[in-house]
Amino acid sequence: MIEVDDLPELTRPIVVAAFEGWNDAGDAATSVVAHLADLWGAEPIAALDPEDYYDFQVNRPRIGLHDGVRRITWPTTRVLLARDTGFGHDVLLVQGIEPSMRWRSFVIELLGLALEVDAELLVCLGALLADVPHTRPCPVITTTEDPTLADRFGAQPSTYEGHTGIVGVLADAAMQSDLPCVSCWVSVPHYAGGHTSPKATLALLSRIEGLLDLALPHGDLEELSHAWERGVDELASSDDEIGEYVQALESAQDTAESPEASGDAIAAEFERYLRRRGTERRDGPPRPDQPDA
């Protein structure tokens, strides 16, 4: 069972959750939680027993010096409490790794804690690889199955069908438990998804600001975002195929944002690109996973 230290009475708590792994392209989602934890000075209050949920050959423990003593740190999921948030809510930050096994028990433990403290809202964060250009703002999609939250946050029900990750499972379990839940997914350019993407982190953090109606310090995220974009610019300029692909993505997005945009127009833009490459559409870049909650 989840191990909880002495837990004070909380003020209108909100839970924000992100997990390393399949749901975290460019480390964007977990970087938001880490940023909030640093910003608010969040302290750990709970941890799940890693023996129950992780394959240690997949997520290996680490050994290192802690206060001059060599100790092992086990991979797990922790809950941190932020109290001095400045907007009338205490925040529980769920910071962890997508579990290797027993997903239903995993979410039951996390939701049990959220329900125990009478959490008002669960915000699930995710990041996915997508056909988006790095030169444009990273799109963020907000979804919910709750009509009241949809009106409040300008969200929409998810239309995704397919494989899901722990974020989707947690959001579904929250809905079944009558815990208000909204999910935010940021798109990360798939051709630049092998490295941490501060630009995607900043986009997701900005969406959190809109959801919670507050302004947060961004630290060095703007500077890091510009540096990341310059680095991907260099990649695109040194590889003709990537450069042409980025131009096609830009044209498709510009078409999509025009008043006369339609699905056929966007598809035609990509067909033109594929013809230039001398390939059939079916041989084009693989489609990315889509947000599932």
16 strand-pairing partners: 93, 123
Percent of the chain with pLDDT over 90: 72
Q: What is the pLDDT of residue 279?
A: 46
Taking only the tens place, the pLDDT of each residue in 130-184 is: 999 999 999 999 999 999 999 999 999 998 899 999 999 999 999 999 999 999 9
Cα–Cα dist 173/108, whole Å: 8
Cα–Cα dist 18/24, whole Å: 8
Cα–Cα dist 28/225, whole Å: 12
> Sorting pLDDT into bands at 50, 70 and 90, what band is 123?
very high
The 3-state DSSP class for residue 283 equals: helix
Q: Residue 275 pLDDT more than 80? A: no
169 strand-pairing partners: none
- Enter the CATH code of domain 3-220: 3.40.50.10900
Q: Residue 282 pLDDT more than 50? A: no
List the chain domain ranges.
3-220, 224-280
Q: Which of 71-75, 92-96, 284-288 has the lowest mean pLDDT?
A: 284-288
> Sorting pLDDT into bands at 50, 70 and 90, what band is 38?
very high
> Sorting pLDDT into bands at 50, 70 and 90, what band is 76?
very high
> Sorting pLDDT into bands at 50, 70 and 90, what band is 74?
very high
- Two tokens, residue 206: 């900005």
The 3-state DSSP class for residue 272 equals: helix
Cα–Cα dist 136/280, whole Å: 27
Taking only the tens place, the pLDDT of each residue in 213-263 is: 999 999 999 999 999 999 999 988 888 888 888 888 988 887 776 655 445
The 3-state DSSP class for residue 18 equals: strand
Residue with tokens 């809510």: 89
Q: How far is CA 169 from the centre of its chain?
A: 14
- Two tokens, residue 58: 């997949």
Q: What is the pLDDT of residue 253?
A: 80
Cα–Cα dist 7/10, whole Å: 8
Q: What are the CA-CA distances from residue 6 to residues 46, 76, 78, 82, 200 (Å)?
A: 9, 20, 15, 14, 35
Cα–Cα dist 48/79, whole Å: 9
Q: How far is CA 206 from the centre of its chain?
A: 12
Q: What is the pLDDT of residue 271?
A: 63
Taking only the tens place, the pLDDT of each residue in 186-200 is: 999 999 877 899 999
Angle between helices 28-40 and 198-212 (to 10 degrees): 60
Q: C-alpha angle 36/101/196, rounded to 5°? A: 35
Average pLDDT, the chain: 88
Who wins on pLDDT, 195 or 40? 40
Longest dimension (CA), the chain: 65
The count of C-alpha atoms lying within 13 angstroms of the C-alpha of 182, restricted to the half-sphere facing its C-beta, is 22
**Phi and psi dihedrals of 164, rounded to 5?**
-130, 165
Q: What is the pLDDT of residue 7?
A: 82
Contact 86, 214 (CB under 8 A): yes
Taking only the tens place, the pLDDT of each residue in 104-120 is: 999 999 999 999 999 99
> Sorting pLDDT into bands at 50, 70 and 90, what band is 25?
very high
Q: How far apart are the first and last CA of the chain?
A: 26
DSSP single-letter state for residue 236? H
| Nearest in space to 7 (alpha carbons), one of 81, 62, 61 | 81
| Nearest in space to 47 (alpha carbons), one of 82, 8, 80, 10 | 80
Percent of the chain with pLDDT over 70: 86
Taking the CA atoms of the chain, what radius of gyration do you get in angstroms? 20
Residue with tokens 């009475």: 9
